[in-house]
Amino acid sequence: MWVNDMSTKETILRLLEAAGGKFISGSDIARSAGVSRNAVWKNAAALREAGFDIEAGDGGYRMAGDKLCPELIKYYAKNDFGITFFTETGSTNREAARLASSVTLPHMVAAAAQSGGRGRHGKSFFSEGGIYFSMILDAAAVKIPPLLLTTAAACATLRAIEAEYDAEPKIKWINDIYLGEKKVCGILTEAQSDLETGTFSHYIVGIGINAGGDNFPPEVEDIACSLDPASVRKNRLCAATADNLLAFIKAEPSDIVRLASEKSCVLGRKIRFFGGKEGTGKAVALGESGELIVETAEGRVTLSGGEISVRFTK
């Protein structure tokens, strides 16, 4: 059976990624793809020209590096969703906002790099060599309280990292994933309103996972970390995170709060909070919509995700 060029490229990518950096012979690839060895050579060369780090040697072919690929994300995903992919864009959340009303939902906007990645309160987000994507969600499909959506995304990402790697990620309330004392992932959740009804029509959940190594700029090198680029499987991790998110938006809110509490690196610690409310205290619990409850000298304070940032105190 002969297949078209794009199907052959997809098959080669899937086989090489599944091999985890080991060589696969050209004859084995040809047999799996249903093409000639010459066709394998031509398609592998075309994939190298497209930016995939594919090595050819006596043992055949292997994937020397990892790169986001929409076909592979869809291959690994258990849910059916469309993907708009950019080699580089300013911000996947901005692109998602532009596309939200014209695509079938849910829909992913992914990029190999962002030149204008941003976090909460307009802060920039270092965006090179990692996994960057935004999920556009129909507000009607989100069955959990809107305030809990960022916490759900954090749980989704944490579970995906746990399943793929020998790591113990934690949630730093409300929108960061930490490995040890450093940030490996940031999340930005935004909403779009329907002007006629005055209700939310779409939610956009942006997720950025550091996976390009620890070559960070000086301003973030002391607070950021990366998954090991030698072992990360970007497409599988991206797909798993998206699948988890689509499950968590229909989960019982109490289950999300319970998991976020168990995996928190904030609860039980002294913190300083600022932004909407300011003060210091001990983070003691999460509320039913993911709010952070802090015990201060003046009494308990409840903080919502849209109002504050948290820094650990020494």
Sign of the CA dihedral running 203, 129, 81, 231: negative
Residue 1 has pLDDT above 50, yes or no: no
Q: Which of 11-20, 142-151, 182-191 is least confident?
A: 11-20
Segment 125-151 shows an average pLDDT of 90
Report the pLDDT value the prediction gives residue 300, as an integer from 0 to 100: 96
Total count of residues recorded for the chain: 314
Strand partners, 206: 134, 188
Q: Which two tokens stand for residue 164?
A: 């793929």
In this prediction, residue 116 carries a pLDDT of 63
DSSP 63-82: E-S----HHHHHHH-SS--E
Question: Which residues, 6 or more positions from 95, have their beta carbon under 8 angstroms from its beta carbon?
Answer: 84, 86, 89, 109, 111, 134
CA 266 → CA 11, 180, 187, 230, distances in Å? Answer: 44, 12, 17, 30
Cα–Cα distance for residue pair 314/311, rounded to 1 Å: 10
In this predicted structure, the answer to whether residue 194 has a pLDDT above a threshold of 80 is no
Domains of the chain: 5-63 (1.10.10.10), 70-262 (3.30.930.10), 270-312 (2.30.30.100)
**What value does the mean pLDDT take over residues 258-267?**
97
> Which tokens in the block code for residue 159?
């579970």
Taking each helix axis from N to C end, the angle separating 149-164 and 253-262, rounded to the nearest 10 degrees, works out to: 60
* CA gap 36, 273 in Å, rounded: 62
74: phi then psi, degrees, rounded to nearest 5: -65, -35
Question: Taking the model in full, what pTM does it have?
Answer: 0.85
The per-residue pLDDT for range 72-86, each reduced to its tens digit, is 899 899 999 999 999
Whole-number pLDDT of residue 123: 54
Better-scored residue on pLDDT, 181 or 245: 245
pLDDT bracket for residue 5 (50, 70, 90): very low
Mean pLDDT of the chain: 89
Task: Please give the sequence-ordered ranges of beta strands (E in DSSP) within the chain, or none if there are none.
Answer: 54-57, 60-63, 82-86, 107-113, 128-138, 170-172, 176-179, 182-194, 199-209, 270-275, 279-286, 292-296, 299-303, 308-312
Residue 141: pLDDT band by 50, 70, 90 thresholds? very high
Residue 220: is its pLDDT beyond 70? yes
Q: What is the pLDDT of residue 121?
A: 47
| Other beta carbons less than 10 A from residue 2's beta carbon | 10
Residue 223 has pLDDT above 80, yes or no: yes
For 15-54, b where at least 16 C-beta lie within 10 A, e where not — what string? bbbebeeebbebeebbeebebeeebbeebbeebeeeebeb
CA distances (Å), 305 to each of 168, 218, 237, in order? Answer: 23, 28, 26
Confidence of residue 199 (pLDDT cuts 50, 70, 90): confident
* DSSP SS3 for 281: strand
Query: What burial class does residue 131 get, using C-beta atoms within 10 Å of its C-beta: 0-12 exposed, 13-18 middle, 19+ buried?
Result: buried
- Nearest 5°: phi and psi at 298? -95, -5
| 3-class secondary-structure state, position 146 | helix
